[in-house]
């Protein structure tokens, strides 16, 4: 029981629930599908964060285009 309490104090409720769902091993195909879905979810959240940052900083496609045409190397001696 002490281990369960220790885990609960380190992990949040959602993490503990996810571990409960994964208590029994899944078939590899099911595990890969869950993993892919988690990656897609996190990627979509990252897209929203980046778009918000670009809007706040007024970063456009032209900004990226200009950066891609420049370089950051120092000039030779």
Would you list the domain boundaries of the chain? 2-69
Q: pLDDT, tens digit, for every residue of 29-50?
A: 999 999 999 999 999 999 999 9
Q: Give me the pLDDT at residue 38, please.
A: 95
Q: Which of 52, 43, 41, 46 is nearest to 18 (CA)?
A: 41
Please state, for a pLDDT cut of 90, what percent of the chain lies above it. Answer: 55
Q: Give me the pLDDT at residue 25, please.
A: 92
Alpha-carbon distance of 31 to 39, in angstroms, equals 12
pTM here is 0.65
- The per-residue DSSP string of 13-38 comes to HHHHHHHHHTSSPPPHHHHHHHHHHH
Vertex 37 angle, CA 22 and 26, to 5°: 30
């Amino acid at each position: 029981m002490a281990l369960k309490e220790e885990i609960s104090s380190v992990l949040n409720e959602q993490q503990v629930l996810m571990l409960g769902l994964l208590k029994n091993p899944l078939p590899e195909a099911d595990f890969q599908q869950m993993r892919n879905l988690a990656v897609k979810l996190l990627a979509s959240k990252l897209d929203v964060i980046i778009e918000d940052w670009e809007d706040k900083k007024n970063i456009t496609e032209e900004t990226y285009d200009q950066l891609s045409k420049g370089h950051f190397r120092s000039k030779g001696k």
